[in-house]
A = this chain, B = another copy of it.
């Protein structure tokens, strides 16, 4: 099963500057070989369900290993059986109607 996800990881208990923690997650997502797109409030991730979920787990684990005591992530998960759709297809399906 393929999934397009949107992931926003919020480290708690390490102050207000979170960019370095998000960069660690971003590197994990990219290194996992998944297609990713960083935006202003999260990251789009496209790939096989298990791989995407494994990458999200590695993000939580890596941040805890760096000393982040608490994490609250907000995730959207989209799967469909009617057609194969990429992140770019989704954006295009909106933009061509603007």
Residues of A in contact with B (beta carbons under 8 Å apart): 1, 3-6, 8, 10, 12-13, 15-20, 22-23, 26-27, 37-42, 44, 46, 49-50, 53, 56-57, 60-61, 64, 68-82, 87-88, 90-91, 93-98
- Contact assessment for B26 and A98 in the assembled complex, using a CB-CB cutoff below 8 Å: yes
- Contact assessment for A1 and B64 in the assembled complex, using a CB-CB cutoff below 8 Å: yes
- Contact assessment for A57 and B64 in the assembled complex, using a CB-CB cutoff below 8 Å: no
Chain B residues with Cβ below 8 Å from A19 are 90, 93-94, 96-97
- Contact assessment for B1 and A61 in the assembled complex, using a CB-CB cutoff below 8 Å: yes
- Contact assessment for B91 and A27 in the assembled complex, using a CB-CB cutoff below 8 Å: no
- Contact assessment for A76 and B79 in the assembled complex, using a CB-CB cutoff below 8 Å: no
